[in-house]
Amino acid sequence: MSYERRKVRIGLVVSDKMDKTIVVNYTWSSPHLIYKKAIRRETRFMTHDPENLAKLGDVVRIIESRPISKTKRWRLAEILSSQEIADIQPEEIQVDESVVSAAATSALDQAEAEATAQTSQDDETSADESSTEAQG
């Protein structure tokens, strides 16, 4: 197959956990057959990355190639832009003590406000029931 006839796509790397393989998410749109509104679709391509260069979040250009495996029919042509994605877990985030205490006190204040609102609603409904019984 000549290079001019090969399909070229630009997409986002959504997985790089396999060896020499990345998954590229390609988003495309086409008009609805009846209503003519643009419909966005996504296709995921298993792509051959022999040097494991592409990382999660990169925008890459892929090119159609011969079958490399059962599911891989695309090769990585180039990395257009790289993005740094934080590999930090929520437990590793350090929070200032004043922020934690302020959040705790606001949560307590909110719980107390909800409790007083609920008791006032209960009082109103019991007063309405007693007035209807007195009339009846």
- CA 119 – CA 110 distance, rounded (Å): 14
CA dihedral sign, ordered 77, 63, 29, 57: negative
| Polymer length in residues for the chain | 136
Look up tokens 């260069």; give the residue.
53
Query: How many other β-carbons are positioned within 10 Å of the β-carbon of residue 14?
Result: 13
- CA 9 – CA 4 distance, rounded (Å): 14
Supply the pLDDT for residue 75: 97
- CA 65 – CA 107 distance, rounded (Å): 58
CATH 3.40.50.2020 is held by the domain 3-81: no
pLDDT, average across residues 33-40: 97
Contact 80, 60 (CB under 8 A): yes
Query: What is the chain's mean pLDDT, rounded?
Result: 85
Give the pLDDT confidence of 90-107 residue by residue, as tens digits: 777 777 777 777 777 877
CA distances from 90 to 27, 55, 56, 94, 112 (A): 30, 22, 19, 9, 29
Supply the pLDDT for residue 44: 97
Q: What is the pTM of this model?
A: 0.61
Q: Is 33 helix (H, G, I), strand (E, B) or coil?
A: coil
